[in-house]
Amino acid sequence: MLQDIDNQIYNLIQKESKRQIEGIELIASENYVSKAVLEAMGSILTNKYSEGYSGKRYYRGNEYIDQIEDIAIERAKELFKVDHVNVQPYSGSPANFAVHLAFLNPGDKTMGMALDAGGHLTHGFKVSVSGKYFDSVSYGVDENGYINYDEVRKLALDHKPKLIWAGFSAYSRIIDWKEFRKIADEVNAILVADIAHVAGLIVAGEYPSPVPYADIVTTTTHKTLRGPRGAMIMCRKPYAEAIDKAVFPGSQGGPHNHTTAAIAVALKEAGTEEFKQYSKQVVLNAKKLSEELIKKGYYIVSGGTDNHLMLVDTIKSVKLSGKEVSNALEKANITLNKNTVPNDSRKPWDPSGVRIGTPAITSRGMKESDMEKIAYFINTVLENIENNSLIEKIKGEVKDFTKRFPVPGIN
C-alpha cells in the first residue's frame, strides 16, 4: 500500500532497512524493537485523541485507550517496583523538562552531571531549557573518570539546589544512588535519577536500581529497554500529582496512544527470562569490546565499563577527533556517535571522543567472540583512515559479517 501511495518514502524506508541490516550499530542509545512492538507502533491507535488520564479524558471514546494505558502503567510499576508511573511523556527530554516544571520556578537551582563528563543536555546544560530557565550547577568526574561524591557534596552544600540529577548519557560506571540520596538529604533537595540508558539493565538485575533512593525516576523506553521512542516518569506517591500535572496540561497535549501500547508490549517482553539473558550479554559484550580496544592502544575513559557503553578519547588514542572517527567508520558501515570527553578542550560538534555501546549488536545475537572482530574492524579503519580502498574492503567484510545476525523486526 505505501509503495503504491508514496513510492519515494517507501524506497527510502527500504534503503534504511538495508542500512540497518548491513551495518554494525554501536550507538549506545539505539536498539532494535521486536515485530510485536512494531505492530503496536503502526496500529490504528494513532487515530485517537486522549488528552487527560485514564478515566479523566477530555474526549470521549477512550474506553480501550484507558485499558491500554493502565496495562502499561501496571507493568512498569511491577518491573521497576515503583509507586506511580506516568507513561505519557513523548521522549526523554520532555520527561526531564516536566520534572523541572513540577518542582522549580524559573531561576531556581538545579544540579546535574556536566555534559563533557557524561551528563545529558536536559540536566542543566546551558543550551537546553533546563540551563536557560533554571540556575544550573554541574558536577564532573575526577582524573580517573569516576564521579567524586565529595565534590558533588561540596557543590550541593555551596549552591543548595532544589533538584539534584543523578544519571548520564555517557558514563560507563556504576552510580552510587545511596550516596546521592545522602547528599540530597543534606541540602533538602529532590533526587531525580535519570536511568534512560540503563533501564533495561536495571529490570534484568544487571545494574543497581535507584528506586529505593530516588524521589523521581525518569527513563526513555527505546535504549536498553528495547521499546518504542517514548519515556516514563516514575515516582513516590507524594510527588505523583505534581508530576502528572507537569506532563499534562503542563507541557504536553494528547498522549501518543500507539507509543503507549508499544511501551506496554516492550515492558511485557522485559519481564521474560530471555530479556534477562540479553541484558547480561549486553554487559559482557561491552566489557569484552572495551578490553579488546584497550589491547589495541585505545584510551577508554575510566579504564573500562560496568554497563553497556564506553567513552573513547580518540585524540589520545589515534590523534583524530570524534567527528573524524565517526565519519571514517560510517564509510565502513559502522555507526557510532562523536562525544565530548571529561574536560574536553574541543567544541561539542567536533569533540575529542566517541561513545560506543553494545545494546543493538547484542539484540542481533552477537557474543564476546564477535567483539574481537568488531574491534579489528574499528582499528583497521582508523589506522588506515586515508586508504579508501582498504576501508571499502572492510565495508565488504562488515556486510558479510552482519549476514550471520538477523535484525529483530526486520529480518
**Which residues have a catalytic role annotated?**
49, 51, 194, 220, 223, 229
Cis peptide before 249 (omega within 30 of 0): yes
Those residues whose C-beta lies under 8 Å from the C-beta of residue 138, and which sit 6 or more positions away, are 111, 112, 113, 114, 115, 117, 119, 123, 124, 125
Strand partners, 193: 166, 217
Instruction: Give dist(CA 272, CA 66) in Å, integer.
Output: 25
- Return the residue matching grid coordinates 497535549: 253
Q: Is 173 left (phi over 0), alpha (psi -120 to 50) or beta?
A: beta
Answer whether 5's CB lies under 8 Å from 221's CB.
no
Alpha-carbon distance 7 to 17, whole Å? Answer: 15
d(CA 61, CA 49): 9
